[in-house]
Amino acid sequence: MLDSGIGSWPARRARMTPGARAFVQDDAVVTYAEVDRLVEAVAHGLRARGVAAGDRVAFLGLNSIELAVTLFATARLGAVFLPLNTRLAPPELAWILTDAEPALLIHAGDFDEAVSSEAVAALGLPGHRFTPAGGRGLDGLVSTSSTSGGGDVEVGLDDVFMIQYTSGTSGRPKGVMLTHGNIAWNAFNLLVDVDVRSDEIALVTAPLFHTAALNQVLLPTFLKGGTSLIAARFDPAAAIATIERERVTLLFGVTSMYQALAQEPTWATADLDSLRSALSGGAPIPRTLLDTWQSRGLHIIQGYGLTEASPGTTMLRAGDGLDKLGSAGTPCFFTDVRVVAPGNQEAAPGQAGEVHVSGPNVTPGYWHNEAATEAAFDGPWLRTGDVAMLDDDGFLYVVDRVKDMYISGGENVYPAEVEQAVYTHPGVAEAAVIGVPDERWGEVGRAVVVRRPDSALTRDDLLKHLDGRLARYKIPKTVVFVDEIPHNASGKLLKSRVRELYGAPEGTTP
């Protein structure tokens, strides 16, 4: 094959295990041979729509077999897959689509309103609407094109495979370019750390537009020839029932998902003996929750990563989980990590510094953003912006996050982006957004606001104003009105002081 990239994976798997189940969703079962045929048909349909190598194909929809088919078909043409966060508000989607300039926007019918919104419709993008149907919902895309013949497009490991947008600390999302090689090496890292087998049955309930569910679960399982059970949304009761019925062996979730599963009435009596691996990322899991899962004989494997690293960076392996509680583990096999102290010197054990990452899984840079790319790298090392320290055994402990970012329910939230939206209300004179602890979501947003002198702005007024301007998970849960926000002598807002004054958990006095 001329195609060395991810688009060739369906054909390579089909010639090895054509009759094995690749994907299952609801009552639909799709074998590897069927995936290859669907991918080839959709690739022809995309080509007939004018999609060529290097073009971006945007996808807006919940988890579905159609998402996976579109991903592989796009890659087979040497084009670039652009998964869109389904939780974004129309103005946020419009900004990403303007920046990425996709040749085609494929969207599920559930998102007609977002696509027809003034912000998105004004872009005039060619589009295709589909209804999920076990992988065959894209038939309308291929009806105008022959699905015979084709051609083997030359795709290399250094070619861009996907752009995943992650919110930037400047308030604008940045498009992380991930190559075919980045994704392949990330899968190799995962397979070294987790014994994914050809008989694996993975439950995929976390959003596939995020790096973790896609690159840490679905693609490695596909590479090994296992089965991915795809659910459109996470439902804890349905997830437990599926684990029992389908004998699920591999699971991924963020803290809020594992908490929800453990709180289900059926948790105590459910047959979970089939589970071999439970993966987590996004934020450390509390000891009490780890103990709850441990009581059922299940150890949650935690790791540290970021979209720019595809995402696997470190892993706290099962054998070290309790001894190194709170740690993010040690580097993945093909990835190197260092902690750099002020002065650009490697930090000593126990000394805090910035996490730097290098390896074949690390992005070549940001789409259409040379300045951000240059700022992000020190030679081969990616500056993560995360502050951490290493212990004497080389285990990484993350002590702060990218500048002021917080993680709510597994979603990264950057206060600068939220603050920009808060400032659009005419009653706001000044604002600072911080993350505060929350039992369910890990962290939620709190807006600390100074009203304009003539304003009678209320909490409800502000939250209503933000609804539709921001994704729901980005909208602060609480609002604190103050007379002034602390600044330093040069006038710079002191976020650390804001957190000290107003960062108490909800339900306590900030």
User: Are 372 and 320 within 8 A, CB to CB?
Assistant: no
What length is written for the chain?
A: 510
Give residue 167's pLDDT band: very low, low, confident or very high (50, 70, 90).
Answer: low
CATH number listed for the domain at residues 1-10+33-156: 3.40.50.980
Name the least confident of 69-83, 319-333, 460-474.
319-333
Strand order in the sheet with 21-25: 28-31, 21-25, 227-230, 201-204, 250-253, 277-280, 300-305, 312-316, 330-331
* Pairwise CA distance, residues 4 & 78, whole Å: 10
Q: What is the C-alpha to C-alpha distance for residues 302 and 313, in angstroms, rounded to an integer?
A: 11
The dihedral of CA 346, 350, 351, 355: what is its sign? positive
Tokens 């934020």 sit on residue = 283
Q: Where are the beta strands (DSSP E) in 317-402?
A: 330-331, 336-341, 345-346, 353-358, 365-366, 377-378, 381-390, 396-400
Indicate whether 230 pLDDT > 50.
Answer: yes
For residue range 86-106, list pLDDT tens digits in order.
999 999 999 999 999 999 999
Q: Strand locations in 12-103, DSSP E? A: 21-25, 28-31, 56-60, 80-83
| Cα-to-chain-centroid distance, residue 71 | 15
Angle of helix 255-262 versus helix 287-294 axis, rounded to 10 = 50
- Kindly state the tokens that stand for 348: 């000593």
pLDDT single digits (tens) 294-309: 899 898 998 999 999 9
Separation of alpha carbons 93 and 113, rounded Å: 12
When mean pLDDT is compared across 119-128, 277-286, 344-353, the lowest value belongs to 277-286
Strand partners, 366: 176
Is pLDDT above 50 for 341?
A: yes
Domain ranges of the chain: 1-10+33-156, 406-502
Contact partners, residue 195, CB within 8 Å, separation at least 6: 276, 277
Q: What CATH number does the domain located at 406-502 have?
A: 3.30.300.30
The mean pLDDT value for 282-288 works out to 74
Least confident of 16-20, 40-44, 181-185, 252-256: 252-256
Asked, colleague to colleague, whether 1-10+33-156 and 406-502 share their fold, the answer is no
Are the C-beta atoms of residues 191 and 167 closer than 8 Å to each other?
Answer: no
Cis peptide before 265 (omega within 30 of 0): no
- pLDDT at position 508: 58
Q: Identify whether the C-beta of residue 310 lies closer than 8 Å to the C-beta of residue 359.
A: no
Q: ∠ at Cα 400 (173, 446), nearest 5°?
A: 65
The arithmetic mean of pLDDT across residues 57-61, rounded, is 98
Q: In the predicted model, what is the mean pLDDT of residues 362-381?
A: 96
Q: How much is the pLDDT for 376?
A: 95
Distance CA 83, CA 232 (A): 15
Tell me the pTM: 0.86
Q: Which two tokens stand for residue 435?
A: 């993350």
d(CA 68, CA 241): 24
Structural contact between residues 304 and 329, judged by C-beta atoms closer than 8 angstroms: yes
Rounded Cα–Cα distance for residues 217 and 212 (Å): 7
Give whole-number Cα distances, 278 to 211, 222, 250, 251, 330, in Å: 17, 17, 6, 5, 18
pLDDT at 504: 87
- Whole-number Å distance between alpha carbons of 492 and 335: 37
**What 3-state class would DSSP assign to 151?**
coil
Quote the CA–CA distance of 478 and 481 in Å, as a whole number. Answer: 10
